[in-house]
Structure 1
Amino acid sequence: MLVSWLQRHCCGCFLLLAVFWLTEKPLPVCAQQVFRISGRQNKAEVHFKFVRNMLIVQAKINNHGPYNFVLDTGCGYMMITDPLLLDSLNLKYKKKLKITGLGEGEDLDAWLVSALHVKIGDIEADNVSAALLGKDVLELSGFAGVPIHGLIGYDFFNSFPVKINFADSTITAFSTHKLPGCRKWTKIPLQIEGKKPYLFANINFNQGSSVPLKLIVDLGAGHPLSVESGWNNNGSMPEKYIAAANLGVGLSGPVNGYMSRVDLMEIGTYQFKQVIAAFPDSCSVMGKLDAVKRNGSIGVDLLKRFVMLFDYQQGYLCLKPNYKFKEPFEHDMSGMEYCSAGAGLNRIIVCRVEPGSAADLLGIEKDDELLAINFKEVSHMSLQEVDDILRSKNERTLLLEVLHHNIQAKVLLTLKRRI
C-alpha cells in the first residue's frame, strides 16, 4: 500500500477487508454489559445507513451525540476510533492497552474507558466498557464519506436475538427467543468463541473437491469471502487472480495479498457460484489471528443477500434470501482506489491505481481528483454510488472528469473485469 496516503485512509472500492479482524487482549470486566430494550416492549427497531458495505447506526454516549458507529460482529469489544471523543465526552480512562489487528505493522495503543451509557434508539446499556484508540488509524470517515466514531459488536449481539433486513435497512432486537415468522428460514449453527460468531461452509477451489472451512461471520468486513488457510494444501494457485492486491487496512497496518474467485460456496442449503475471494498473504495474518482457529471470514458482500437473524444465546443464524440473492459477485472494474477528502468529505481523491488496469492505461495517477462521472459531479454523489458505477458492467464506457497535475481533463474510461 502507498505509505503516504493509505496508512491514513481505508481506500478501495471493493471492501473493508480485515479492518475489524481484531485479536484484542481481554478488557477488564467492570460490570455486566447487557443491552436492553427500553420500557416493556417486546422488540425495538433501529434504522441503519448502509454505506460501502457497512451498517452504520446512530448511538448516544452519556447523553451526548448522536455518533455514528459501525455494527460489527467481528468486533469483540466496543471500540471508539475517534480519539476526540475522549475530550468532548469528558471520558476518564483507566488503563492503557495494546491491541493487535491484522496488517503488517506494530500493536496499537488504546485506553480502557468504562461506565459508559450507550443508547441506540430504544436500545440501551449501562456501564459499558470500550477501547479508545489513541490514533484513528482506520480513518473510516474517509472511507465511508460520512463521520464514523467507532464500532459496536459482541455486547449488542449477545444481549438478544437480532434481525437484520437490508431491504428496508432495519435492525430489530427481540426481548424473547420465541420469534414469530422464522420457521421456514434456514437455521445455520453458530459457534460463539472469543466473543465472535463462527460457522462452517463448504468451498470448492479450482474445480477440485469441496473443502469445509471454519469462517467468522463478520459484518465489519465488506468482502464476500476471505480465505486465510486451508485451501491450498497442494500449493496450487487460482487460475486467474489479481496479484499483490491491497486488501485493506487493519489496526496493525496494510493487509496485502491477492484476489480471485472460488468456483462454489455452500452455506447450509444455499449455493453461490464464482464468489470473489480475498487471500491475505502470510505476512499480514500469521501470528495475528485470534486464539480461535479459523480458516477465514464471510463478509457483508455475501451476507447482504439474506435477511438474517442472529441468536448468540441459542447458537444459530437464521437466513432467508432477499432480492439481492442472485446478484453476481463483481469487483471494481476501473482499477482505482479512492476515498473522501475535504472538510465536508465531498471530494474524491485517487489513492492508488492498480498496474495494468483501465485507469492505469489512461494515465490516471495517485492524488488525482475525480470530479465528475458522465457529467454528474461526484460532490453530489455518495461513495456507494461511485462504487456501483465502477463495478456495473464489463466493457461499459464512462466519461470521467479528473484533476490531473492541477489540470482538468475529460477522459473515456472503459471498464474491464479483472477477475
Structure 2
Amino acid sequence: MRGLRNLLILMLVFGCFSQLELFGQRYQLKDGRKAEKIKFELLNNLMIIPMEVNGVALSFVLDSGVNKPILFNLADQDSVQLNNVSEVSINGLGEGEAVNALRSHGNRFRLGTIENASQELFVVMDAAINFSPTLGIPVHGIIGFDLFRDFVVEIDYGKRFLKFYDPKAYSYKRNANSESFDISLVHNKAYLNAKVGLENDETVAVKMLLDTGSSDAIWLFENDSIVLPSNNYEDFLGKGLAGDVYGKRTRISHIQIGSFVLKDAKAAFPNMSVFGAITDLGDRNGTLGGALLKRFNIVFDYPNERISLKKNRNFKLPFQFNISGINLQHAGVRYISERIMNVTENTEYGNVQIMMAGATRLSLVPEIVVSGIRVGSPAYSAGLKEGDVILAVNGKRVHRYKLQEILQMLNKGKHESVKVRVSRLNRDLIFSLKLKELFK
C-alpha cells in the first residue's frame, strides 16, 4: 500500500526576493481578533497542530526548540508549492552528517485566523527522515519560534488547546496556583533556570532549554557538577534530523522549578557526540521536554521573556519508562479477516436491513512492527526481534488501539507478565515478558 501514495510534486517558483520576503513578515490575527484558540492532538507528549502551507493542509509538531519551520514526509500530498527556492545543508540532532534541504521564502502559512504571508521554511528531502511511523499519524513538519515570537502562547495540556494572544492585548491573571519566571532567549530559543537532585540528593543549579518538540522528560549534559547516577542503562533516546540519538537513561531524585518539585523524575544523559554539529550549546545544561512540560498549563511570553506555570491533572502522574524494552512504529497496513456472528449490518435499503450471520469481514488495519529491542530488556530475554509484527497484547488485538495505547499495554506493570503475539516469517508466535522495576 505504501507504493500507492501520491507522488510529491514540488512546484518551485523562482523569482526575485522582495524586501518583505528578505526580512520576513510576522504572524497576525485577522479580522481584529485579540486571540485565537486552537485544539491540538497530544501524541507521545508532542503537540500536533493543523497548519496550511500555501493552501495545503498539513500537520506540524509545535516545537519551541526549532528556529524556522522544517517540512518532511510530504509523500502523501499531491503537490506543495514552494516559493523562491535554493539548496542548502542544515544541521540537526543525531550522529549523522548535515542533511540536504531546500530553503524557501515567501510562503503563506495559516493557522485558524492566524496568518503569515511570507514565511521562510526548509524542506528536508530525505525520505528516511519521517516521524510519522513512531507517532501513528501523518506529521509533515515542525514549527516553533516564529509563532512564539509573535504571540503570548497559552498551552493547556489538560484540555489540549492552545490560545494565541496579541501581546498588546494580553493581561496576566492573578492565580495563587500559578508562578511566573524569567526566561532568556538565546538564538531564538527559550531557557529556564531550575535545580535537579541527583544521586544522594545532591542539588545542582541548571539552565535548561524549553523544548516542546522533545517527547522525553529531562535531558542532562554531564560535567563536573552534573554526574550520571550509577543506576542507569543504555537506551535509544529518539530521532533527530541527523540520525538516531542514544544515551544513558536514569532516574533523578527530583527537579525543582520555583516551588514546584517533581520527584523520581525520568532523565537521560545523551551521548554528546549527537551535538557535534551544533555550536550554540553555551552554558546550557540540558532540556525540559514534553513528558515534563505536560504536567503544567503554561503561558509562554517571549516578547517579555517570561513564562508562567500552573499544575494540571498530569502533575502527579508517575514518569513512564519503557520497562518492556520494545520500540514500535507503524509500517504501512495489512489485511485481517474476522469471523462475524449474529451481525445486523451492513447494507440498508429503505427500511429493509440485510442480516449477516457467520460472515467473514476483511479489513485493512495498521501494521505495528517492533522497530527496536533494548539489549538485556524483558523483550530481549523473551526472544522478540526487530521486525516482528505485533498482533495482540494480553489477548487484545492491537489494530483496535492507537500506537501510544499499545506501548502503555506493554509497560503497564512493574512485576507482571505480558503476553505478546507476533507474526514472524508468516508464523504466529507467543512470547511472555516478565516485567521488572528498572530502578529500586
Place the TM-score, normalised by the shorter chain, in its bin: 0.7 to 0.9
Distance in 2 (CA, whole Å) between partners of 1:172 and 1:281 is 36
Contact map agreement 1:357 1:416 (CA 8 A) in 2: no
**Counterparts of 2:307 and 2:228, CA distance in 1:** 32
In the alignment, is the contact (CA less than 8 A) between 1:145 and 1:383 conserved in 2? Answer: yes
Alignment of 1:312 with 2:266, yes or no, is no
Report the secondary structure of 2:88's partner residue: strand
Q: Does residue 364 of the first structure (1) align with residue 379 of the second (2)? A: no
Q: Return the alpha-carbon distance in structure 2 between the equivalents of residues 240 and 107 of structure 1.
A: 34
Distance change (3 Å), C-alpha of 1:110 and 1:293: farther
Give the Cα separation in 2 of the matches to 1:39 and 1:300: 33
Tell me the equivalent position of 2:206: 213
* Structure 1 residue 187 corresponds to structure 2 residue 180: yes
Residue of structure 2 equivalent to 1:116 = 107
CA distance in 2, matches of 1:221, 1:174: 24
Asked if structure 2 preserves the Cα contact closer than 8 Å seen for 1:247 and 1:256, the reply is yes
Distance in 2, Cα, partners of 1:399 & 1:289? 46
- Aligned with 2:53 (options 38, 46, 61): 61
Cα distance in 1 for partners of 2:426, 2:436 equals 27
Aligned position for 1:16: none
Q: Distance in 1 between matches of 2:73 and 2:105?
A: 16
Q: CA deviation at 1:209?
A: 2.9
Amino acid aligned to 1:43: A
Decide whether aligned partners of structure 1 residues 207 and 33 sit closer, same or farther in structure 2, where only a CA change above 3 A counts. Answer: farther
How many Å apart are 1:237 and its aligned residue? 4.0
The Cα offsets for residues 141-166 of structure 1, whole Å up to 9 and x where unpaired, read as 11111111101110011111000111
Check the 8 A contact 2:368/2:390 in 1, yes or no.
yes
Partner of 1:325: 315
In angstroms, what is the RMSD of aligned CA positions?
2.1
> 2:21 touches 2:106 (CA, 8 Å); kept in 1?
no
> How do residues 177-326 of structure 1 correspond to structure 2 at under 5 angstroms?
178-179=170-171, 181-184=173-176, 185-230=178-223, 232-233=224-225, 237-243=228-234, 245-290=235-280, 292-326=282-316
Deviates more, 1:364-373 or 1:28-37: 28-37
* Contact kept? 1:145, 1:345, Cα under 8 Å: no
Equivalent AA in structure 2 for residue 254 of structure 1:
D
Residue 370 of structure 2 aligns with which residue? 350
Q: Return 5+ residue gaps in structure 1 as ranges.
A: 1-27
Partner of 1:10: none
Q: Match for residue 102 of structure 1?
A: 93
Aligned-residue identity in percent: 27
Q: Could you say which residue in structure 1 is the equivalent of 2:325?
A: 335
1:171 aligned partner = 162
How much does 1:410 deviate? 2.6
Higher Rg of the two aligned structures:
2
SS class of match (1:101): coil
Q: Which residue of 1 aligns with 2:28?
A: 36
Secondary structure, aligned partner of 1:142: helix
Q: What is the deviation of 1:85?
A: 8.4
The alpha carbon displacement at 1:92 in A equals: 3.5
Report if aligned partners of 2:236, 2:245 keep a CA contact under 8 Å in 1.
yes
How much has 1:122 moved relative to structure 2?
A: 2.0
For 1:33 and 1:85, the matched residues in 2 are separated by: 29
Distance 1:267 1:361, change over 3 A: same
Aligned to 1:313, what secondary structure does the other structure show? coil
Compute the displacement of 1:102 (Å).
Answer: 2.0
CA deviation string 1:376-408 (max 9, x = no partner): 221121111112223322113223211133211
The change in CA–CA distance for 1:151 and 1:100 in structure 2 (over 3 A counts) is same
Instruction: Verify the 8 A CA contact 1:31 1:127 in the aligned structure 2.
Output: no
1:392 aligned counterpart, secondary structure: coil
Measured in 2, the distance between the counterparts of 1:336 and 1:166 equals 27
- The whole-number CA distance in structure 2 between the counterparts of 1:105 and 1:183 is 46
Query: In structure 2, do the counterparts of structure 1 residues 156 and 86 end up closer, same or farther at CA, with 3 Å as the change threshold?
Result: same
Distance in 2 (CA, whole Å) between partners of 1:394 and 1:31 is 54
Which one is further off, 176-185 or 363-372?
176-185
C-alpha separation in 2, matches of 1:330 and 1:248: 15
Does the 8 A contact of 1:86 with 1:92 survive in 2? no
Contact 1:59–1:119 under 8 Å retained in 2: yes
Distance in 1, matches of 2:196 and 2:139, equals 34
* 1:63-102 alignment runs, 5 A limit: 63-64=55-56, 66-84=57-75, 88-102=79-93
1:130 matched to 2:110? The reply is: no
Assess if the C-alpha contact under 8 Å between 2:91 and 2:277 holds in 1.
no
Q: Tell me the SS of whatever aligns to 2:101.
A: strand
- Shift in Å at residue 57 of structure 1? 0.6
SS in 2 for 1:278: strand
Q: Is the 8 A contact 2:220 2:270 kept in 1?
A: yes
After TM superposition, give the deviation of residue 177 of structure 1 in Å: 5.1
1:15-34 correspondence runs (5 A): 30-34=22-26
Distance 1:177 1:269, change over 3 A: farther
Question: For 1:235-284, what per-residue CA distance to the aligned partner results, in whole angstroms no more than 9, with x for missing partners?
Answer: x54121112x2212211112221101111211111111111111012322
When structure 1 is superposed on structure 2, of 261-270 and 336-345 the one drifting more is: 336-345
1:86, distance to aligned residue in structure 2 (A): 9.3
Change (3 A) 1:29 1:208: farther
Amino acid in the other structure paired with 1:114: H
The 2-side partners of 1:418 and 1:172 are apart by 39
- TM-score, normalization: structure 2? 0.83
Which fold has the larger relative contact order, with Cα–Cα distance below 8 Å and residues 6 or more apart in sequence? 1
Q: In the alignment, is residue 410 of structure 1 matched against residue 430 of structure 2?
A: yes
2:83–2:107 contact (8 Å) kept in structure 1 = no
Q: Give the unaligned 5+ runs of structure 2.
A: 1-19, 334-363
Other-structure match for 2:396: 376
Q: For 2:131 and 2:174, locate their aligned partners in 1 and report how far apart those are by CA, in whole Å.
A: 34
Deviations 1:26-67 (A, max 9, x none): xx9723332122212221100011111110011111122x21
Q: Does 1:400 align with 2:420?
A: yes
The amino acid of 2:29's aligned partner reads: I
